[in-house]
Copies of this chain bind each other. A is one copy, B any other.
Amino acid sequence: MKLDPVDRTILVALQEDGSLTNAELAERIHMSPSACLRRTKMLQESGLIAKTVALLDPRLAGLPGTAYVFVTLDSQGRASLDKFEAAVRTVPEITECYLLAGQSDYLLRIVYRDTTDLERIHTEILTPLPGVVRVQSTLTLRAVKRTTKLPI
């Protein structure tokens, strides 16, 4: 899939505001609505535009806290990893999970309401995850930047 400059303009605009109507988007990029729609649908059907979602304000949602947590497992066999990962996927407070290079450690991103909530997540959710032997949290004081935009 190759993108021309017009495609990139569309992607930049829709990453910024996915609620733009086709007519608005077409006007912004100086193109007729039908041509614009054709390109946008192509970008969606190709999967490059994976989905469009509503983003909530974390503060107003009562979830102002973000923590990154390094987790070490007791075993790095395929079965252990699969079991851990399956469990991770069911926990809504874990918004991201990455397998790290090296000693089969994972990095988790956690969202939480307050320190009491973080403590609960730590003891009642993270520590009991299958195979976990160590949990090391990195608290964030303040989000300086947070974007879902990819630099196309």
Contact = CB atoms under 8 A, between A and B. Distances in A.
State which size class the interface on A falls in. 35 or more
A129 interface: no
A35 interface: no
A148 interface: yes
Interface in A27-68: 46-58, 60-61, 63, 66, 68
A152 B96 CA distance: 16
A147 B111 CA distance: 11
Q: Which of A107, A141, A145 has the most CB of B within 10 A?
A: A145
A78 interface: no
A58 B144 contact: no
Nearest to A10: B54
A143 B96 contact: yes
A101 to B, nearest CB: 5
Nearest to A46: B60
Interface string A128-152: 0000000000111111111111111
Given A52-B19, A148-B148, A98 B140 contact: yes
Given A17-B51, A107-B138, 9 more contacts: A47-B60, A51-B55, A88-B145, A95-B149, A96-B145, A96-B147, A97-B144, A99-B144, A101-B139
B89 A145 contact: yes
17 contacts: A11-B56, A15-B53, A18-B53, A48-B61, A50-B56, A52-B52, A52-B55, A53-B149, A63-B151, A68-B68, A88-B145, A93-B151, A99-B141, A100-B139, A100-B140, A101-B140, A148-B148
